[in-house]
Amino acid sequence: MISHPAFSTDPWAIREVGFTPDVLAQSESVFALSNGHIGIRGNLDEGEPHGLPGTYLNGVYENRPLPYAEAGYGDPDSGQTVINVTNGKIIRLLVDDEPFDVRYGTLLSHTRDLDMRAGTLRREVRWVSPAGKEILVRSTRLVSLTHRSIVAIRYEVEAIDPVAVVIQSELVANESLPKGNGDPRSSSPVEWALTLEESTSRHSMALMVHRTLSSGLLVGAAMDHEIDGPDGCRSESEAVGDVARVTVVTHLEAGQKVRLVKLISYGWSGVRSRPAVHDQVVAALAGARQAGWDGLVSSQRAFLDGYWSGADIEVEGDPQVQQAVRFGLFHIIQASARGEQRPVPAKGLTGPGYDGHTFWDSETYVLPVLTYTYPLAARDALLWRASTLPIAEQRAQKLGLRGAAFPWRTIDGKESSGYWPAGTAAFHINADIADAVIRYLDATGDPTFEAETALPLLVGTARLWRSLGQHDIDGNFRIDGVTGPDEYSAIADNNVYTNLMAQRNLRAGAEVASQHHRAAESLRVSSEETASWRDAADTVVIPYDDRLGVHAQSEGFTDHAPWDFEATPSEHYPLMLHYPYFDLYRKQVCKQVDLVLAMVICGESFTADEKTRNFDYYEAVTVRDSSLSASMQAVMAAEVGHLDLAHDYLGEACLIDLRDLEHNTSDGLHLASLAGAWTALVTGFGGLRAANGIMHFSPRLPSGITSLRFKLRYRGSRIGVDITSTKAVYRLLEGSALRIGHHGELIDMAETPVERAIPPLGRRPRPRQPAGREPAPHHTRIGPKPVGGRRGPTG
């Protein structure tokens, strides 16, 4: 845990005062910049010291073998790992021949500021060399949200004492990386993944093109510079092997400055030629030079102003949550804005954790936020899934199934999970994709997307469920031998979450096919087939334990022996690191919420009393060994009336990286948990549920939050919601009139704000959690929690 006051609490910035090597890797993740295409970790400008160097391109990976003790039919032969591509961040500085290095000399001050409105990372350092020469270094960097291929850095050195200065701006490929730590959540580092194909330099410009050894992808990087210094300032360039360098030499009198603006462009391709990739990065540099530093900065601010106008959340009464939820929203837009039909990885582009893979988190946690705040990015992510449909269909055929079987974890659409129970058996990924499609269609009413993209995705996934399940002798539709979100209950029959999500998928597939007859016919969908989907949906098995009065999360779960939580030491969490899976699989213990997640997404399938009883029951057996759990527990806690408990879970979800609660922020941010903070506030305390073109709200606030204001986009309109403990005000900020719901009352909202009282809520006893696994009261969250957050043996 980041236990020192590394980051001050500011509503629009993350500020680090001082330099603390112990948390360098964590701060590199926090200060990462990206745009969905390029990601750069927040390494120091001079490159050293570092925790984990990292520059990533979305979709660039290397193949690696998947070892099996006993291989089985259908196991993937290889996996994929994100690689560290050419590093263009490095700007080394020598002061009278002394390298500027914060570990030596005297560091008088060191601050870094991540400005979430400007989209920039600023750094200011005052340093005295071992020889006693004092300088002031200022740098600002951005990854452009408007120029997809561009990273820009402004680097300035001011002399306090007269000094000779040498600045070395570099492109470096095949950097040495720290060795893996054995944590399955970490990456499988691939060193020397790039083979040089071209290296050139001229004047203030340099360029390199590499090819990945196994996956065969071409990666291009180029840099150019604007140099502003005193008379006599000169520069030269060179390119040798995996290093290209532009060197600036000058002498500064006291008070004089030398300034460097560095523009870096990136491009890659699996199909284009080396000359084409070369030309691509050169052209991107030309566009950035035309915009100039000031143009890049102003367009960055303009983009984010537009984003925040439909995404911002204001939280009064809890400044930590206020900062953290904006931090999460900032990184979500960074991970997706210019992805342009590429996936949203679990870590975004902030680090190599989980090997850079995309999971179901993207559709279930991140895309709901984007759907209601920046729907274009949600559309692009779903278009990427659609582009991998042929691979998913091939995978289904290999598994003996119809339709499409999307991968549990992937970069390019191929399955990369080598552990069947927590990988392929988690077929719910297919319904999660369908759910994201359904939500996007409801929120946008996009007819082109519905006919061209939604239809084939819904048909492919509906066919999978119809072939995976089967009708029993009583006519009930069963889906056996699958793993739901709770990976401590693998290979189970009739998992409630999976079955309800499959039910939704089957009905949506039939509905959209009926609306697009000709397009459906081209997919060979018949009326008999859609009728079979509806029949399966209507008869799907939903296990219920009459004895306990709760739903069993899967058939027989409530008959399992209880886990002995009282005898489980706190240091034995997460459980999968200390106990065999056969023991976890046959006990009543949940890694993360499973049935609770079903009640959040498929709430119409449960009565209010069932939700209350189910929530209380599963609170007592859920240990939150996954970072995906707390946010959904917050949503359901708020719905059933445990508002302060929901606030505690909200704190855990949103502070996961700013406080390094899972002890692995060094590998990259937990994007789904950060998205879950938005979900806890908007769907939890705001009570948002949307269907059939209507947004329904049931707002209520916990005692620690005095007011909550948020903005949403829906059906082409922009909406503002203001909530206090006693009332809610709904405003149409932009667009056409909408019908909304407030605690069951339908309201037509137009130009005039609508105000409604919030009905009182009765108090209920707070449910119990497993011994030692209670969420810490949010305002006293100052100590570490046991390590958690694993995503099964494969991630």
Active-site residue numbers? 487
Cα separation, 289 vs 216, in Å, equals 31
The neighbour count for residue 80, using CB atoms within 10 Å, is 28
Is the distance from CB of 190 to CB of 81 less than 8 angstroms? Answer: yes
Strand order through the sheet with 13-17: 7-9, 13-17, 106-115, 120-128, 134-143, 150-159, 257-269, 218-228, 205-212, 194-202
Cα separation, 792 vs 626, in Å, equals 9
Cα separation, 140 vs 144, in Å, equals 13
- Token pair recorded at residue 613: 């009883």
- Token pair recorded at residue 371: 């759907």
Instruction: List the alpha helices (DSSP H) in 73-193.
Output: none
For tokens 């502070």, the residue is: 655
- Token pair recorded at residue 102: 């914060």
- Find, among 296, 293, 300, the residue nearest to 116 by Cα: 300
Residue 759 has phi, psi (to 5 degrees) of -65, 145
For strands 13-17 and 7-9, give the pairing.
antiparallel
- Find, among 341, 385, 331, the residue nearest to 363 by Cα: 385
Which DSSP symbol is given to 44?
Answer: -
The neighbour count for residue 572, using CB atoms within 10 Å, is 13
Q: How far, rounded to the nearest angstrom, does the alpha carbon of residue 373 sit from its chain's CA centroid?
A: 15
Strand order through the sheet with 55-57: 33-34, 38-40, 55-57
- Token pair recorded at residue 586: 């046959």
Angle at 577 between CA 571 and CA 582, to 5 degrees: 125
Question: 768: burial class by Cβ within 10 Å (0-12, 13-18, 19+)?
Answer: exposed
3-state secondary structure of 392: helix
Cα separation, 137 vs 124, in Å, equals 6
